[in-house]
Amino acid sequence: MKKHIILTSLILTLTVPSVTYGFDGMEFTGNGLGSGLADMFVQEEFYESPAALTPATARLNDKEQLFQQGAIVEEDAAQVAQKPKFGKTMPMFKRARINITNYFRRKDIEKTQKLLDDWNTATKTNKSGDANKDNGVTLFDDVEELPTVKSINDNSEKTLQLTGGVKEQISANDVILDAEYINFDEKTMDVTATGRPVMEFPPQETKIKADKIVYNNVTNILKAYDNVQIIKQGSVINGDYVQINLNEENAIIDRIDTQKGVMKITAKKATANDKEIVMTDGQLSSAGDFPIKFETAMVGGFDYKQFVISDDDRSFVSDFSGEKSMNVNIKEITVDAKKRHNVVSLKGIEVYNGKKHLFDIGHFEAHSNKDSTYFEGNYPEIGSRNPMGMYLGPGYVFDIPNGSTLKAIPLVNYKSGFGIGGALRYKSATNVTDFMYGSANDAFVLKGKQYLDDKFYLQYGMNAFMNEWFLGARMPKYAIEAVYEDGTNIRNVLGEGRDLRFRNRFGLGYFGDTKYQLKDEHLAQGKDSAVRLRYMAEMNQSLFKYANEEKQRFLSLDFLMQGSAAVYGEGETQFIGRVGPRLHTQYKYWMQNIGYFASAYEDHTPLLRYDTYRYGHANLYLNEALRINKWLAVGWSIYANLLKEAPNGKMLQENAFIVSIGPDELKVNLGYDFVRERTYFNIIMGMNVKNSTVNYKKLVIKNPDRLSGSSEPELKLLPSSEDMFKPAVKKSTPAKQYAEVIEIQDPEREYIQ
């Protein structure tokens, strides 16, 4: 039998999750680092993505987020394990670092192997007790017989094998048939198996179970009848009838029925071959919880992660109609598994809330790379960017080489008048770059981020608010900066649940001073440009936490120490140090964050408009949020320079109001920052598809063998020679150093799943 025929006919067990879950593995990027405005407001500090369609899991699970914010007290509120940030597409520095480390480790392993070979040879030829001596140098004391390395595989798997093992070689044509009764008809050449027959294909790790299995040796056709189960690596597909033509390399399954997590998939008929799988008249449904989240994140809005809301007080779209489920009818779903991309196209979409028709969408298309580390779609764009103003326009996505996408957005913008313009957005596993132009204010915006390693990246932009961590988002004329960020959490420093969190950041960049100023500022433009080297650090010590979920009362008190030291190209400097408490409270549905900093600073920045320190020696920040009812919430955030030492001589350096309207599933947020003169607008949609269904007329999967994941080879660290040969030494006797070892990070930390 032909091996890839079986794989093709059973590939549904692998492709169904990719279809039903959208792009599995997407991660909601969250709000980024905190700024002058509260974490409860989504800030435009660093543009990550205009939208995310994803299972609604943030970087931390709900309990860990609430734990860090003081909303709950839990001893083991551990961080959720994350999938690799970049998939197999590693940033360039990380790939180079691992390759260089592997080169030296491979050399070290070969050197150690030679020593072991010499030792084993001496052991066999010398029985006088001096077997572990070599020219007077002790290699090992009291060791068992050591294995030898058969080979160091130079391919992408970088695996190491020990000799002495025996492997059973299974041919691709091997098939095992087990049944109570097996009959052979010499006339028809049919082999018929009944009585709980099971046909197993070991090379493909696949089994077929049915009430009856028939294989014809002449036509090379396999048929399975009634109560059919196709099992591959724990995935099961049920059907009434299966026919696999091993000559023409295709398969037919009648009345398919399978479960993938909380999703159930049915179809009247499915046909499959090497190039295409087609399912007709089917349904995707969910019996369990499976939330998805869609958020326009260009400009900001109200973040409800901090609010602890009881289930009884939540509001839903279904409250308008009394229906409790969302239903979608789709004429055709096409999943095109390209070499570097996966593209999902939906045509003829009708959305219902229960039986009530909500809206129609003619066509929607979603693009992702093979590892699903990012998502881009042909949805319209709406938002606001300073200095360009409000904008609106359709989006068109194009696949470009190396698993990247380019989205083009013709738009209309408004800034003291209407204009036209356009935007381009480039996305890859390690890069997001956004360029926009609007004629209403003759303004353009460029902003991008390129990861070079897990904690090392470039940020760059022109006329865009850049990430300045706790010093607030600022807009340079242009900027390019290399940034390294890291941090750690030390549990229970001052007692149970009182953790110490430390974060630091190095940045080296080139900046141009901006022509734009904050409202009422009268700063002269500084040097046209300057190089800046800066180190920033923060220590956050938890002092007290209280939580009473039943009464909706939460309180946490932290103490913060923050510092920043910068030196510029011609020797100018900026030093900032500040300390103070931070209080987070929630009483029923009134939540607030209050903090105070006593600061010492010496500011001689040459980039006067860009990064002058504006908060003075005594500054207070206050964030208030009130959930008025199930449909309406309001928020207010200020950052006050109490001594009025800012360049504009005013107390309030940030002053923003935000109104959030709608049920918890669908929020429309609108706000304005009176100091930075920025409009905030975004839409957040979070739906749980529990008890919802998607009915489709046709579902097509093109190139199914390429859908399950990236074909890029994996890259991981080789073990050190010490770890490689450690099992060879008796536990009772520590091994002595016998070769130079290159000390690098724990290989498990670098492993790319």
The residue to which tokens 């941090």 are assigned: 487
Q: Does residue 563 sit in the same domain as residue 542? A: yes
Q: Is 142 exposed, middle or buried (0-12, 13-18, 19+ CB in 10 A)?
A: exposed
Q: Is residue 56 part of a domain?
A: no
- DSSP state letters, 57-117: --SS-HHHHHHHHTS---TT-PPPPPPPSSTT---HHHHHHHHHHHHHHHHHHHHHHHHHH
Tens of pLDDT, residues 68-89: 433 333 333 333 334 456 767 7
374, 381, 295, 286: which is closest to 324 by C-alpha? 286
Would the pLDDT of 90 be above 70?
A: yes
Select from 257, 287, 317 the last residue of a domain: 287
Output the CA torsion 305→307→313→314 (10° steps).
-20
Give me the percent of the chain exceeding a pLDDT of 70. 70
Strand, coil or helix: what is 110?
Answer: helix
Structure tokens at 389: 């103003």
Tens of pLDDT, residues 14-57: 454 433 333 332 222 222 222 322 233 333 332 332 222 222 22
User: What is the bridge-based pairing of β-strands 590-603 and 573-587?
Assistant: antiparallel
The answer to whether 407 and 433 are in contact (CB under 8 A) is: no
Q: How many other CB atoms are there within 10 angstroms of residue 586's CB atom?
A: 23
Structure tokens at 133: 């001596």
Mean pLDDT, range 136-149, rounded to an integer: 45
Structure tokens at 476: 């340079």
615 alpha carbon, distance to own chain's centre: 35
> How far is Cα 276 from Cα 431, in angstroms, rounded to an integer?
32
Q: Is residue 120 part of a domain?
A: no
Tens of pLDDT, residues 268-310: 998 888 788 899 999 887 766 655 555 554 333 334 456 677 7
Q: How many CA atoms lie within 13 A of 417 on its CB side?
A: 7
Mean pLDDT, range 356-374, rounded to an integer: 84
The answer to whether 637 and 623 are in contact (CB under 8 A) is: yes
Mean pLDDT, range 174-179, rounded to an integer: 81
Q: Is residue 105 part of a domain?
A: no
Mean pLDDT, range 335-358, rounded to an integer: 86
Would the pLDDT of 669 be above 90?
A: no
The residue to which tokens 């003619």 are assigned: 362
Phi-psi region of 414 (alpha: psi -120 to 50; beta: other; left: phi over 0): beta
Q: Which domain holds residue 443?
A: 291-688
- DSSP state letters, 494-537: TSTT--EEEEEEEEEEEEE--S---TT--PPP--SEEEEEEEEE
More confident of the two residues 557 and 716: 557
Q: Does residue 213 sit in the same domain as residue 323? A: no
Amino acid at 170: I
Tell me what pLDDT residue 697 has.
93
Q: Is residue 728 part of a domain?
A: no
What would you report as the CA-atom Rg of the chain, rounded to the nearest whole angstrom?
31
Strand, coil or helix: what is 565?
Answer: strand
Mean pLDDT, range 439-457, rounded to an integer: 91
Confidence band of 351 (pLDDT split at 50, 70, 90): confident
Select from 667, 688, 709 the last residue of a domain: 688
Phi-psi region of 189 (alpha: psi -120 to 50; beta: other; left: phi over 0): left
Q: Is 382 exposed, middle or buried (0-12, 13-18, 19+ CB in 10 A)?
A: middle
Q: Does residue 265 sit in the same domain as residue 373? A: no
Altogether, the residues listed in the chain come to a count of: 753
> How far is Cα 254 from Cα 12, in angstroms, rounded to an integer?
13
Q: What CATH number corresponds to the domain at position 278?
A: 2.60.450.10
> How far is Cα 713 from Cα 285, in angstroms, rounded to an integer?
35
Q: Does residue 316 sit in the same domain as residue 264? A: no
Q: Is residue 399 part of a domain?
A: yes
Q: Does residue 278 sit in the same domain as residue 296? A: no
Q: Does residue 306 sit in the same domain as residue 232? A: no
- Our count of domains for the chain comes to 2
The answer to whether 12 and 256 are in contact (CB under 8 A) is: yes
> How far is Cα 718 from Cα 69, in angstroms, rounded to an integer?
39
Q: Does residue 255 sit in the same domain as residue 310? A: no
**Secondary element (H or E) of residue 285:** strand 276-286
The residue to which tokens 């091997």 are assigned: 174
Q: How many other CB atoms are there within 10 angstroms of residue 126's CB atom?
A: 12
Q: Does residue 278 sit in the same domain as residue 361? A: no
End-to-end CA distance of the chain: 32
Give me the percent of the chain exceeding a pLDDT of 90. 27
The answer to whether 682 and 669 are in contact (CB under 8 A) is: yes
The residue to which tokens 């007329």 are assigned: 697
**Secondary element (H or E) of residue 181:** strand 181-185
Q: Is residue 412 part of a domain?
A: yes
Tens of pLDDT, residues 190-244: 899 999 899 888 777 788 999 999 988 888 888 999 999 888 877 788 899 999 8
| DSSP-derived secondary structure letter, 119 | H
More confident of the two residues 383 and 64: 383
> How far is Cα 678 from Cα 658, in angstroms, rounded to an integer?
12
> How far is Cα 542 from Cα 523, in angstroms, rounded to an integer?
39
Q: Does residue 517 sit in the same domain as residue 615? A: yes
The answer to whether 617 and 643 are in contact (CB under 8 A) is: yes
Q: Does residue 576 sit in the same domain as residue 675? A: yes
Angle at 89 between CA 88 and CA 94, to 5 degrees: 100
More confident of the two residues 738 and 250: 250
Distances (CA, A) of 234 to 245, 258, 261, 303: 24, 12, 12, 39
Tens of pLDDT, residues 726-740: 654 444 444 443 333
Q: Does residue 492 sit in the same domain as residue 438? A: yes
Q: Is residue 729 part of a domain?
A: no
Q: Is residue 564 part of a domain?
A: yes
Q: Is the bond into 387 cis (omega within 30 degrees of 0)?
A: yes
> How far is Cα 414 from Cα 393, in angstroms, rounded to an integer?
12
Structure tokens at 259: 């479960």
Among 161-170, 391-400, 404-413, where is mean pLDDT lowest?
161-170
Mean pLDDT, range 506-524, rounded to an integer: 86
Tell me what pLDDT residue 525 has.
78
Q: What are phi and psi of 571, to 5 degrees?
A: 95, -5
Select from 642, 661, 688 the last residue of a domain: 688
Distances (CA, A) of 460 to 104, 311, 528, 543: 34, 42, 17, 38
Strand, coil or helix: what is 744?
Answer: coil
Q: Does residue 365 sit in the same domain as residue 379? A: yes
